[in-house]
Structure 1
Amino acid sequence: MKKLTLIAASVIATLAGCSSTSNPEQNIVDSLADNLDIKYTIVTNQGADNGLACQDLGAEFASCNKVNMTLINQGDTIDSKDWTIYFHSIRLILEVGNDQFKVTRITGDLHKLEPTDKFDGFAAGETVEIPLVAEYWQLFETDFMPGAFVVANNAEPKLIASLNTENTSSYVTELTPQQQKRVTADNNVFATPQTRFEKNADVLALDITSALLPTPMHVELAEGKVDISQGIALPKQQFADAQFTAIETRAKLIGVDVEGKLPVAIALTPKLFTGEMAVSGAYQLDITAQGINIKAFDQAGLFYALQSVFGLVDSSNASELPLLSIKDAPRFDYRGVMVDVARHFHTKPAILATLDQMSAYKMNKLHLHLSDDEGWRIAIPGLPELTDVGGNRCFDLDETRCLLPQLGSGPTSDNFGSGYFSKADYVEILKYAKARNIDVIPEIDMPAHARSAVVSMEARYKRLMKAGDEVGASEYRLMDPLDTSNVTTIQFYDKRSFINPCLASSTRFVDKVISEIAAMHQEADMPLTTWHFGGDETKNIKLNAGFQDINANDKLSWKGNIDLSQQDMPFAKSPQCKILLDKGVVSDFAHLPSHFAEQVSKIAASKGIPSFQAWQDGLKYSENAQSFSTENTRVNFWDTLYWGGAASAYEWSDKGYDVIISNPDYVYMDMPYEVDAKERGYYWATRATDTRKMFSFAPENLPQNAETSVDRDGNGFNGVGGVEGKAFHGLSAQLWSESVRNDEQYEYMVFPRVLAAAERSWHKADWENDYKAGVEYSLETNLVNKQALTDDWTRVANIIGQRELTKLEKAGIDYRLPLPGAKIENGILAMNIQFPGVALQYSTDGKSWLDYSAQAQPKVTGEVWIRSISTSGERASRVTSLK
Structure 2
Amino acid sequence: MLAAVPRFLTPLALLASTAAFGQAPAAQGLGLVPLPREVQTPAGHYALPQKVSIYAAGPEARSVAGLLQEMLTALGRTASLTTNRQAAQIRLGPATGAALGPEAYRLAVGRPGVDITATGGAGLLYGCQTFLQLLPPRPTAGPLSLPYVRISDAPAFTWRGVHLDVSRHFFPVEFVKKYIDFLAAYKFNTFHWHLTDDQGWRIEIKKYPKLTTISSQRKQTLVGAQQTFKSPADFKYDGQPYGGFYTQEQIKDVVAYAKRRYITVVPEIEMPGHSVAILAAYPELACQPGPYEVWTKWGVNEDIVCPTEPTIKFFEDVLAEVIPLFPGKYVHIGGDEAPKTRWKTSAAVQEIMKREGFTDVEQVQGWFNRRIETYLTSKGKKLIGWDEILEGGIAPSATVMSWRGEKGGIEAAQKGHDVVMSPGGWLYLDAGQNPVPHSPNEPLMIGGYLPLEKVYSYNPLPAALTPAQQAHVLGPQANLWTEYITTPAKAEYMLFPRLLAASEVAWTPNAQKNYADFVPRLGPQFARLDAKKINYRVPEPLGLDSVSAQRQPGRQVFTLRSLVPGAQIRYTLDGHLPDLTTERYTQPLTVPTGQRLLVRAVTIAPNGRVSPPAELLVR
Does TM, scored on the shorter chain, surpass 0.5? yes
Q: 1:851 to 1:722 in 2, by over 3 A?
A: same
Following superposition, the deviation at residue 457 of structure 1 comes to: 1.7
Is 1:505 matched up with 2:310? Answer: yes
Residue number in structure 1 paired with 2:363:
591
Report the Cα distance in structure 1 between the residues aligned to 2:498 and 2:131, rounded to whole angstroms. 22
Q: Which residue of 2 aligns with 1:580?
A: 352
- Hey, what does 1:696 align to over in structure 2? 457
The answer on whether the counterparts of 2:74 and 2:139 sit within 8 Å (CA) in structure 1 is no
**Partner of 1:583: helix, strand, or coil?**
helix
| CA–CA separation in structure 2 for the residues paired with 1:693 and 1:515 | 41
User: In structure 2, which of residues 61, 71, 75 is the aligned counterpart of residue 250 of structure 1?
Assistant: 71
Tell whether 2:294 aligns with 1:481: no
> Does 1:654 pair with 2:482?
no
CA contact (8 A) 2:333 2:384 kept: yes
How far residue 302 of structure 1 moved from its aligned partner, in angstroms, is 0.9
Q: TM-score, normalised by structure 1?
A: 0.57
1:422 aligns with 2:144: no
- CA 1:392/1:218 → structure 2, altered by over 3 Å: closer, same or farther? same
**What are the superposed Cα offsets for residues 4-29 of structure 1, whole Å, 9 maximum, x if unpaired?**
xxxxxxxxxxxxxxxxxxxxxxxxxx
Aligned to 1:672: 432
> Relative to structure 1, is the Cα distance of residues 848 and 325 closer, same or farther in structure 2, using a 3 angstrom cutoff?
closer
d(CA) in 2 for partners of 1:653, 1:221: 40
Q: Distance in 1 between matches of 2:459 and 2:543?
A: 30
Per-residue CA distance 1:733-765 (angstroms, 9 max, x = gap): 011112222222111111110111111111103
Partner of 2:494: 749
Cα distance in 2 between the residues matched to 1:831 and 1:428: 50
Query: What amino acid sits opposite 2:330 in the alignment?
Result: T
**Pairing 1:310–2:310 present:** no
Q: Does 1:337 align with 2:147?
A: no
Aligned equivalents of 2:320, 2:237: Cα separation in 1: 32
Among 37, 42, 53, which residue is 1:222 paired with?
42
Contact 2:72–2:79 under 8 Å retained in 1: yes
- 1:483-562 equivalence runs, <5 A: 494-496=301-303, 498-501=304-307, 503-521=308-326, 527-539=327-339
2:469 matched to 1:725? yes
Structure-2 separation of matches of 1:724 and 1:681: 39
Letter in 2 for 1:743: P
The alpha carbon displacement at 1:411 in A equals 1.4
Give CA deviations for 1:225-275 in whole Å, capped at 9, x if unaligned: 212242542226755687555433433444554339861222224x8553x
SS state at 2:116 partner: strand
Q: For 2:235 and 2:476, how far apart are their aligned partners in 1?
A: 29
Match of 1:839 in 2: 567
Give me the CA root mean square deviation. 3.5
Q: Which residue does the alignment assign to 1:346?
A: 171
Amino acid at match of 1:599: R
Distance 1:655 1:309, change over 3 A: same
State the match for 1:621 in structure 2.
392
Q: How many residues align?
A: 548
Judge conservation of contact 1:586–1:595 (CA < 8 Å) in 2.
Answer: no
Other structure's SS at 1:509 match? helix
* Aligned 8 A contact 2:429 2:494 in 1: yes
SS of residue matched to 1:652: helix
- 1:284 shift after superposition: 1.5
Segment of structure 1 superposing worse, 320-329 or 836-845: 836-845
The answer for the alignment partner of 2:525 in structure 1 is 804
Q: Highest relative contact order (Cα 8 Å, sep 6+), 1 or 2?
A: 1
Query: How do residues 703-714 of structure 1 correspond to structure 2 at under 5 angstroms?
Result: 703=463
Q: Residue 291 of structure 1: CA displacement?
A: 0.9
Contact conserved, 1:394 with 1:410, CA < 8 A, in 2? no
Q: 1:249-288 alignment to 2 at 5 Å?
A: 249-259=70-80, 263-269=89-95, 272-274=97-99, 277=100, 279-288=101-110
State the AA in 1 paired with 2:605: S
Q: 1:533 to 1:494 in 2, by over 3 A?
A: closer
| Residue 735 in structure 1 maps to residue 557 in structure 2 | no
1:268-306 residue CA offsets vs partner (Å, 9 max, x unmatched) = 24x8553xx3x2211122111211122211111111111
Contact 1:378 1:421 in 2 (8 A): yes
The farther-off stretch of 259-268 and 298-307 is 259-268
Equivalent residues of 1:446, 1:533 under 8 A apart: yes
Q: Quote how far apart the aligned CAs of 1:821 are.
A: 4.0
- Say whether the 8 Å CA contact 2:65–2:92 is kept in structure 1: no
Q: What's the CA shift for 1:865?
A: 6.4
Q: 1:796 to 1:258 in 2, by over 3 A?
A: farther
Identity between Structure 1 and Structure 2 (%): 24
Q: Aligned in 2, Cα 1:267/1:500: closer, same or farther, shift over 3 Å?
A: same
Counterpart for residue 612 of structure 2 = 878
TM-score by length of 2: 0.79
d(CA) in 2 for partners of 1:448, 1:394: 21
- 1:637 counterpart letter in structure 2: S
How far, CA to CA, are the matches of 1:390 and 1:635 in structure 2? 28
- 1:759 aligns to 2:504 (yes or no): yes
Maintained 8 Å contact 1:819/1:833:
no
How many angstroms apart in 1 are the aligned matches of 2:117 and 2:482?
41
Question: Letter of the aligned partner of 2:148 in structure 1?
Answer: L
Return the offset for 1:408: 7.2
Name the SS of the counterpart of 1:209 in structure 2.
helix
For structure 1, the 5+ residue unaligned runs are 1-205, 397-403, 459-476, 522-526, 541-568, 627-632, 704-719, 768-788
Give the Cα separation in 1 of the matches to 2:235 and 2:135: 42
Q: Is the 8 A contact 2:27 2:41 kept in 1?
A: no
Is the 1:797–1:836 contact (alpha carbons within 8 Å) kept by the matching residues of 2?
Answer: no
Instruction: Tell me, yes or no, if the aligned pair for 2:302 and 2:342 is still in contact at 8 Å.
Output: yes
Once residues 756 and 352 of structure 1 are traced to their aligned partners in structure 2, the CA distance between those partners, rounded to angstroms, is 21
The 3-state SS of whatever aligns with 1:795 is helix
2:291 matches 1:291: no
Listed one character per residue, the Cα deviations across residues 368-393 of structure 1 (whole Å, up to 9, x for unaligned) are 11111111111211322212222112
SS where residue 613 of structure 1 aligns? strand
CA contact (8 A) 2:161 2:189 kept: yes
Q: Bigger radius of gyration, 1 or 2?
A: 1
Unaligned runs of 5+ residues in structure 2 are 1-25, 82-86, 222-231
In structure 2, what is the Cα distance between the partners aligned to 1:213 and 1:408? 43
Deviation per CA, 1:560-603, whole angstroms, max 9, x where unpaired?
Answer: xxxxxxxxx44112222222122126443111111111111111
State whether structure 2 residue 422 is matched by structure 1 residue 602: no
**Residue 341 (structure 1) shift:** 1.1
Partners of 2:31 and 2:522 within 8 A in 1:
no
Q: 1:583 to 1:430 in 2, by over 3 A?
A: same
Q: One-letter code of the match for 1:842? A: R
Say whether the 8 Å CA contact 1:637–1:661 is kept in structure 2. Answer: yes
* Closer/same/farther in 2, CA of residues 534 and 272 from structure 1, 3 Å limit: farther
Amino acid at match of 2:310: S
2:211 equivalent in structure 1:
386
Q: Residue 841 of structure 1 contacts residue 850 of structure 1 at CA under 8 Å; is this kept in 2? A: no
Take 1:407 and 1:664, find their aligned partners in 2: how far apart are those partners?
Answer: 26
